[in-house]
Amino acid sequence: MAKDFLKGAADRYDVVVIGSGLAGLTGANLLARQGHKVLLLEHHYQLGGMATWFKRAGGHIFDISLHGFPVGMKKSCRKYWSKEIADRIVQLEHIRFENPQFSLRTTFDREDFTNHLVETFGVPRETVQAFFDRARSMNFYDDQHLTTRELFEEFFPGRSDVVRLLMEPITYANGSTLDDPAITYGIVFSNFMHKGVFTFRGGTDELVKLMKKELLANGVDLRIRCEVEQIETNDDGQVTGVVVNGRRIGCDAVLSNANLKSTVLKLVGEDRLDPDFAAEAKAVRLNNSSAQVYMALKPGEGFDPDLGDLLFHSEHSGFDAEAMLSKDVSSRTFSFYYPQTRPGSDRWLIVSSTNANYEDWAGLSDEQYEADKAELAETTLQCLEQNYIPDVRAKLDHIEVSTPRTFEHYTKHQLGASFGTKFEGLKVSEELPQQVPGLWHAGSVGIIMSGWLGAVNYGVIVGSKVDEFLANRTATA
Ligand SMILES: Cc1cc2nc3c(=O)[nH]c(=O)nc-3n(C[C@H](O)[C@H](O)[C@H](O)COP(=O)(O)OP(=O)(O)OC[C@H]3O[C@@H](n4cnc5c(N)ncnc54)[C@H](O)[C@@H]3O)c2cc1C
């Protein structure tokens, strides 16, 4: 008989959290700390969503999305998780750019970027200061019509090299393009420029282990391999429960961390929504997906630490978000993982990431899919051996490729979207509780609520709203 992953689960909870991405985990932890009875349901066999890892023979552990996040993660983790987690967040100091327009190294913070822009790129210091101040002052309530392209044109007209320096890492970090609202750029870029790029020492597996420990200590009922099929509502449209693995579980509130469009259009369904809202949800554009090549060196083998931590490599003549998505890869971001990533380990690993279009990978025959993955692995090795690690093939122990299909499979994100939705998704996410009382969404949306920091912070914001709803319910009763 199939294992019952809901064995022992109660028939009713205060709140059910659907999905264990960083927003779902954080929302669940906040609600449990407030004393609510929380059930967290995750369809995959491990917690973390895109914040995940996998193990391979020989003791290799690959991180999928541990490339870098802003320092704000430290404060959010200290406040909403634990000091133990926050204390392991450390800076990555060696960021590199190698492309036909420039070659430079940076600590990726305001001071260092200012020096580069003034001394290497010859931009007047006052212009750089004004640009940073403008980006820093941007917030959600600003003009949403100004595009990032227009912002750059205002400060750095005709300077495609400057645009590349300022934009390429952000396109990798959240899939945004020059045509997205400038506020999304300003907020995310300023978060990074505050103090640089940070990582979690110990690896994603250690982070999720510590989060799981905290959730259990706070009384969250955690269930893996539990796929929610439906969010149930009563005749008034109010949330009353969920159907998961064929079983109904009652609750007063649901916090969905599943893909926004799946939450609204599948788990609730169009027939239970105001037609205008359903149309708005349908029109939300998903962000792009990714392809990655994971490479592990033989135990004890390494590479020159001078390579840095994060390397934005491109052979393309200028910054071009479309080219960065192309299956004909001309730009790659290399993350170099040293043994200190997991203290005590002797492993050196490399992950090459490229942004990708789902359609380029979705319709392939099994044979073509395997052939295309092998080609991506091969061209990535060629790039490394020609430019950075000449003897990489001799040192290699394991190589493997993931595609948009992989991300879709493990996280159920439509089109394998790596970074949630475009900007308009935020409004739909925020208005959901007015449409379906008792239902909230927290997860990568709107570019600014994406990435590790965005997801954690959105989990806090939305978790607090659910807490308020549950507290009012108790007071009324
Ligand atoms: C290749 C790649 C590299 C990245 N690199 C970085 C980086 O360096 N820095 C950074 O800050 N961010 C990075 N990101 C983005 C970051 O990982 C994500 O934005 C963030 O982790 C998403 O968190 P989330 O809360 O939105 O949920 P997600 O991680 O999207 O998780 C949603 C969860 O819901 C579950 N779920 C969905 N439907 C159901 C259902 N019906 N029932 C039960 N469970 C369900 C899924 O299985 C999943 O676990 C990267 C992403 C990718 C793909």
pLDDT tens string 273-331: 999 999 999 999 999 999 999 999 999 899 999 999 999 999 998 888 888 888 988 89
User: Is the C-beta atom of 418 inside 6 A of ligand 1?
Assistant: yes
Q: In angstroms, what is the span from residue 8 Cα to ligand 1's centroid?
A: 28
Per-residue pLDDT at 444: 95
- Evaluate if residue 382 carries a pLDDT over 70: yes
204 pLDDT more than 90: yes
Sole residue written with tokens 């080219």? 323
Distances (CA, A) of 17 to 26, 27, 273: 10, 8, 21
CB of 24 sitting under 6 A from ligand 1: yes
63 Cβ closer than 6 Å to some ligand 1 atom: no
Could you give the CA distance from residue 407 to residue 262 in angstroms, rounded to a whole number? 15
Residues ≥6 apart with Cβ < 8 Å to 477: none
Residues 356-379: tens digit of each pLDDT: 999 999 999 999 999 999 999 999
Query: Of the residues 63, 189, 257, which should be mutated to test ligand 1's pocket, given the most ligand atoms within 8 Å of the CB?
Result: 257
With a pLDDT cut of 70, the percent of the chain lying above it is: 100
Tokens representing residue 438 in the block: 């008792």
Q: Summarize the confidence of residues 337-365 as an average pLDDT.
A: 95
**Is 228's C-beta closer than 6 angstroms to any atom of ligand 1?**
yes
Supply the pLDDT for residue 476.
72
Question: If you measure from the C-alpha of residue 173 to the centroid of ligand 1, how many angstroms do you get, rounded to a whole number?
Answer: 13
Q: Is 22 in the pocket of ligand 1 (CB under 6 A)?
A: yes
DSSP letter (8 states) at residue 76 = H
The tokens describing 27, both together, are 């929302």
Kindly report the average pLDDT of the chain as a whole number. Answer: 96
The yes-or-no verdict on residue 344 having pLDDT over 70 is: yes
Share of the chain above pLDDT 90, in %: 94
The pLDDT value given to residue 140 = 79
Q: Residue 259's closest CA among 279, 284, 239, 236?
A: 284
Ligand 1 center to 452 CA (angstroms) = 8
- Once rounded to an integer, what is the mean pLDDT over residues 419-425? 95
For 120-150, what is each residue's pLDDT tens digit?
Answer: 999 999 999 999 999 999 987 777 899 999 9
- Residue 467 pLDDT > 70, yes or no? yes
Per-residue pLDDT band for 477 (boundaries 50, 70, 90) equals low
Indicate whether residue 258 lines ligand 1 (CB < 6 A). Answer: yes
* Nearest atom within ligand 1 for CA of residue 290: 1
Distance CA 289, CA 50 (A): 12
Span from the CA of 49 to the centroid of ligand 1 (angstroms): 4
Highest mean pLDDT among 172-186, 367-381, 462-476: 367-381
* Predicted pLDDT of residue 2: 84
State mean pLDDT over 451-477: 93
- The Cα–Cα gap between 330 and 229 comes to 40
* Residue 50 CA, closest ligand 1 atom number: 29
Q: Whose C-alpha lies nearest to ligand 1, atom 48? A: 49
- Left if phi > 0, otherwise alpha if psi is -120 to 50, otherwise beta: which for 116? alpha
**Distance from the CA of 230 to the center of ligand 1, in angstroms?**
20
d(CA 167, CA 169): 6
Residue 293's pLDDT is: 98
Which CATH number does the domain 12-51+205-285+419-476 belong to among 3.40.50.2300, 3.50.50.60, 3.40.50.300, 3.40.1010.10? Answer: 3.50.50.60
- Residue of minimum CA distance from atom 45 in ligand 1: 19
Q: What is the pLDDT of residues 31-63, one digit of tens each?
A: 999 999 999 999 999 999 999 999 999 999 999
**Number of helices and strands in the chain (H, E):** 18, 18
Does ligand 1 have an atom closer than 6 angstroms to the CB of 312? no
* CB 64 near ligand 1, within 6 Å: yes
How much is the pLDDT for 377? 98
pLDDT at position 212: 98
